[in-house]
Structure 1
Amino acid sequence: NLVERSGGENPTLHDGAMPHWDLAKKYDLIDFELGVKIAGAGFPVYKGKGSRLQRALINFFLDSARDAGFVEVQPPYVVNAASGFGTGQLPDKEGQMYHVGLDDLYLIPTAEVPVTNIYRDVILEEEDLPVKNTAYSACFRREAGSYGKDVRGLNRLHQFDKVEIVCIDKPENSYARLEEMVNYVQTLVEKLELPWRILRLCGGDMGFTSALTFDFEVYSAAQKRWLEVSSVSNFEDYQANRLKCRFRDENRKINLCHTLNGSALALPRIVAALLENHQTPDGIRIPKALVPYTGFDIID
C-alpha cells in the first residue's frame, strides 16, 4: 500500500499517559465490562461525557456532510438479501454479518448497504447526477477471527457508530468525485486535530467490488500505531450492474452509473485517538471544532 499524503503532528505525551481503555475507565466514559454483561465482548456501554462525545461526533459529521452538499437520509438498520447482493456483501460476507433467521434479514455492516439500495432498479435522469447522500447508522459486524491487541478497547467492535457518504455519478465523473470525497474526509480529520495519513490500497487489500480504495488512518499516540478510520472507494459499475442503477443521458440512452462511498467517519478509533492524543495531566482536551457540539472543552 502506498502512502499518498499525510498531515498533522504526532503528539508527545506526558509521563503517565494512558491508552484509551484506561482513560475511559479513569474518567468513567466507557464501560467495557458492563457491555460484556449485557451483550458480550465488543458491545461497549458509553456513559456521561463519553455518550455526549459520541453524539457530538455524529452531529459534527452529519452537519459537515450537509455543508459539503450531501443530503441526509435515515435508513433501516436491517436489509434483505437482495440489498446485500446489490452492494456486494452477499454472497461473500455472510460469516461477518448478523443474520435474523426468522425474518431472513441482515443487520447492516455499514449504511452504504441501505443507502445505495435506495437506487436499486432506478433510472436517474442525467441532470439528477451526482447523487450525494449521507447517513448515520449503528453498524454491526461479527468480526469472526479477530483477536489480540488489535481488538482491545475500541479498536474492533461488533456494534459501532458511523457516518457514511454515498455518491452516484456518470462514469466519466466518478474519479473526480472520488478525489472530492477523499479531500472531504481529509478536512474532517484535520478539524479533529489528529495526525493522519492516506493509503492507496493495492489490489490484494481491496475488496473485490472496488476499483480503487483509499484508506484513512490516524495515529494512536498511546498505542504507538496507526488506526484505520475510513475507506473511500470507487466501485465503478460493479454495484450499479447488480443494482440495475442507471441513468438516462442527453441522447435518451440508458447507461450504468458509477457508485462510490466512504466512511466520514467511523467513530470508535476516532474516539480512541481523540482520548489518547489529546490527554494532558489535567484532563482530555476537546478539539475546538467539537466544542459547540459537546458543550465542554475538557474531560476531567
Structure 2
Amino acid sequence: MIDVTSLGSYVFCARAGVLSYKQQGLDSGNVEKPRVPNLSYVPAFTEDELKEEFDRIFPAFLRYSLSCLIGFLLLWVIAAFFSVSLSLLLLLPGSLLAWKATTDGLSLLAVLAELSRHKDATPSQLDSTATGPVEVSWYGLIKDGYISFKPKGRYEDLSLNLCGQPWRILQTTNADRIPVFNYSGSNFVIRDSQIMRLALYSHLCKKEFRGSKSEWGILLDVATKRCFAIPIDDHLRSKAIKELKRFSRVLDEDQNGQPVKTPAGSPCENCLFGKPRPFISGVSDTRFTTGPIGANTHSGHHGQPVHSDCGDKFDWRPHHRYWHENS
C-alpha cells in the first residue's frame, strides 16, 4: 500500500516519492524523522499533559539538586580540611548528578514556557467561510474545545491502496476530525506536498469515522505552536486522489525499469534522500524493503567516497547543497 507520507514526498519530487515508498516500514538511519525540539516528552500538547509532565520531572529534579548541593558542600569540606586530590577524585560522580539536575531543570523550564503560552492564548475558532489557509494558535484551538489525540494505528482505504497515520487528530464535540501535520524545519511555509498529505489524511478520517466531517487540516510548527489551518473540501480531496493515482503509475513504471524524471528546480538542495554520507561498505548501504542496493560513490570533501539514497537508486549525483559547501 502507498503511505500518505510517500505521496507527500512524490509531490515534492517524483524520485523522492519512489525512494520513500521503497523505504516504507523501514527504520532507516538515512532518513531523519520529525522531532519536537525540547518537547519530545510531551505526548499531546495539552495543558493536562504539560502539568502531568511537570509533576513527573519535578521530584527527580529536586532530588538531584539537593544531592548536588550536599555533595559539593562535602567536597569543599574534604578539599579544605583533608585532601584536594580526594575531592577531585570524588568530583566525577558529583558532576554526573549536576548534569542530570541541569537537564531536568531545562525540561522543567520548557514545560513552564509551554504552560505560559497556554495561559496567554485566547480561544481560536475556525472560520467556516475561509477559502484559503488561516493562521491560528494551537493552544487557542485547544482552549476553544478541540481535543487532541494520537491515532492508535494507521487508517486504510483498500480501494485506493492507500494508508496513513496522521501525527495527531483534533476532535470536536460534533464529531469533526481534523488531521494535524507536524513540521519541525527552520523555514515554516505551506507547501503543496503538505496540503496533499492533509487532504488524504482527511479522506482517510472520513472513511475511518463514518458520518464524521473532516473539513480542515492543521499544519503545526511543533517548536513554536504556530499553526496554519487549511480548508479541505471534496475538490481538494479529489485533487489529492488524482495525484495519488499518478504516483501509482510512476511506481509501476519504475518497477518496469522505466526512468523516473529528473527533478526540475532545486528540490535536491536540502533533500535528505540526496544528502551525501561517507561510504562504509556494509554499513552505509541504501536499504529498501527488498534489501540493500549498491552504492554510486563520488569523491566528497577531502577526497573521501560519499553516496546517497537517491544517487544509489537513480545512478546520478543529486544537486544537494553539500556540493556547493566549502570543504
TM-score (norm 1): 0.23
More helix by share: 2
TM-score by length of 2: 0.22
Name which one, 1 or 2, has greater alpha-carbon Rg: 2
RCO (CA 8 Å, sep 6+): is it higher in 1 or 2? 1
